[in-house]
């Protein structure tokens, strides 16, 4: 059984409220276990809000906050696994691990139990983070993309973390003469440019050209600056992928299905009116991207928002492409 160790957080950076990158040093005198790009490690804090699972009569599941006899929220250890954003070669050379996290909120507005504790940390006085001394997971290229020529990695929000690890490792190995014949395309989407963490790293790797790699950044809530930037794609990841595959937008399809079934479509029309129409970056014309996605030789691999991943799965399978996603 993996042992719990105590690491130290440093280099905490917030690109937007509730969105952060940080590095974790291992417990003094220890090193992190070796790993493959795409794997994860379990992190833990000991001052998290505690809950219990309640199943209601209608089978609805709810996690209810626990309180002590004085009405104070009970706190204790909470553990969750996170994809590693650093590349294996970086950890081997520098010793640390990179993480990319979002301050989670549930449907009632309650903050995520572990991330709430993480975002309360102080770089000087409260910078300790427990971790399990084991790195695991099969969300790796040798497991999820084996035998395919075209690998399309679709990352939404913090779901880009395992893909930056993969691409940095591929770039590192290619720089040392070790490369494969596969073509890698990354679709990277967040709400605005400021939230496209790792944008500069991806652009630098693409520009270096050490292996066959294309980077497609996109924003789902474009600002005027984003709209004026021809090198920035627009639209949510699932709709950008649909556009690349010659499919209607998700909102267009939903509206058409409602019309066919005779259902009320007022809300669907409003959703379509607010939807950002897909635009691919000018440096990668639509036909170029489509040429990198022949169905019989393409796997679409995704990590991020569950709703987006479900529609990305639909788009992939509708085009007879292999589909893989990160499951927790």
- List of E strands, 150-303: 150-156, 183-190, 213-219, 233-234, 298-303
The tokens for 51 are 């809950």
Residue 147 buriedness (CB in 10 A; 0-12 / 13-18 / 19+) = exposed
97 touches 88 (CB < 8 A):
no
Mean pLDDT of 96-112: 90
Into which CATH architecture does domain 141-325 fall? 3-Layer(aba) Sandwich (3.40)
Residue 2 has pLDDT above 90, yes or no: no
Closest by CA position to 82, among listed 137, 27, 146: 137
Please state, in angstroms and rounded to a whole number, the distance separating the CA atoms of residues 171 and 209: 9
Whole-Å CA distances, 150 to 144, 146, 321: 12, 10, 10
Question: What is the three-class DSSP state of 8?
Answer: strand
Residue 106 has pLDDT above 90, yes or no: no
Average pLDDT of every residue of the chain = 94
CATH 2.40.30.10: which residues of the chain?
4-136
pTM: 0.94
Whole-Å CA distances, 304 to 209, 250, 283: 27, 17, 25
Of residues 108 and 185, the one with the higher pLDDT is 185
Q: What is the pLDDT of residues 43-53, one digit of tens each?
A: 999 999 999 99
Residue 125 has pLDDT above 90, yes or no: no
Tell me, rounded to whole angstroms, the distance of Cα 50 from its chain centroid.
Answer: 26
165 touches 205 (CB < 8 A):
no
Closest by CA position to 230, among listed 296, 281, 272: 281
Residue 71 buriedness (CB in 10 A; 0-12 / 13-18 / 19+) = exposed
What percent of the chain stands above pLDDT 70? 99
Q: What is the pLDDT of residues 5-16, one digit of tens each?
A: 999 999 999 988
Strands of 19-25's sheet in order across = 75-83, 40-49, 128-136, 4-16, 19-25, 97-102
Point out which residues pair with 5 in neighbouring strands: 131
CATH 3.40.50.80: which residues of the chain?
141-325
4-136 carries CATH number 2.40.30.10: yes
Q: How confident is the model at residue 241 (pLDDT cuts 50, 70, 90)?
A: very high
Residue 123 has pLDDT above 70, yes or no: yes
Please state, in angstroms and rounded to a whole number, the distance separating the CA atoms of residues 72 and 115: 20
Residue 287 has pLDDT above 80, yes or no: yes
132 touches 2 (CB < 8 A):
yes
Q: What is the pLDDT of residues 143-196, one digit of tens each?
A: 999 999 999 999 999 999 999 999 999 999 999 999 888 999 999 999 999 999
């Amino acid at each position: 059984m993996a042992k719990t160790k105590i690491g130290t957080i440093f280099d905490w950076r917030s690109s937007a409220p509730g969105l952060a990158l940080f590095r974790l040093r291992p417990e003094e005198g220890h090193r992190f276990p070796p790993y493959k790009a795409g794997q994860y490690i379990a992190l833990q804090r000991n001052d998290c809000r505690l809950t219990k699972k309640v199943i209601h009569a209608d089978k609805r599941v709810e996690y209810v906050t626990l309180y002590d006899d004085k009405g104070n929220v009970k706190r204790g250890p909470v553990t969750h696994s996170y994809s590693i954003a650093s590349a294996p070669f970086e950890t081997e050379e520098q010793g640390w691990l990179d993480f990319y996290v979002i301050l989670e909120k549930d449907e009632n507005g309650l903050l995520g139990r572990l991330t709430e504790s993480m975002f309360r940390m102080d770089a000087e006085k409260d910078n300790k983070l427990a971790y399990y001394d084991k790195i695991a997971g099969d969300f790796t290229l040798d497991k999820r993309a084996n035998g395919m020529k075209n690998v399309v990695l679709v990352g939404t929000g913090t779901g880009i973390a395992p893909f930056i690890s993969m691409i940095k490792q591929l770039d590192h190995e290619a720089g040392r003469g070790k490369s494969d014949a596969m073509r890698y395309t990354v679709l990277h989407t967040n709400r605005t440019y400021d939230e496209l963490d790792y944008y500069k790293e991806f652009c630098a790797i693409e520009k270096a050209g050490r292996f066959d790699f294309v980077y497609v950044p996109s924003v789902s809530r474009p600002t005027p600056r984003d709209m004026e930037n021809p090198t920035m794609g627009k639209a949510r990841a699932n709709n950008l992928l649909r556009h690349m595959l010659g499919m209607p937008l998700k909102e267009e399809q939903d509206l058409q299905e409602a019309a066919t079934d005779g259902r009320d479509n007022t809300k669907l029309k409003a959703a379509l009116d607010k939807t950002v129409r897909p635009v691919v970056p000018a440096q990668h014309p639509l036909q170029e991207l489509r040429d990198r996605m022949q169905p019989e030789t393409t796997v679409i691999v995704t990590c991020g928002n569950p709703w987006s991943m479900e529609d990305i799965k639909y788009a992939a399978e509708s085009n007879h492409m292999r589909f893989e996603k990160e499951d927790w």
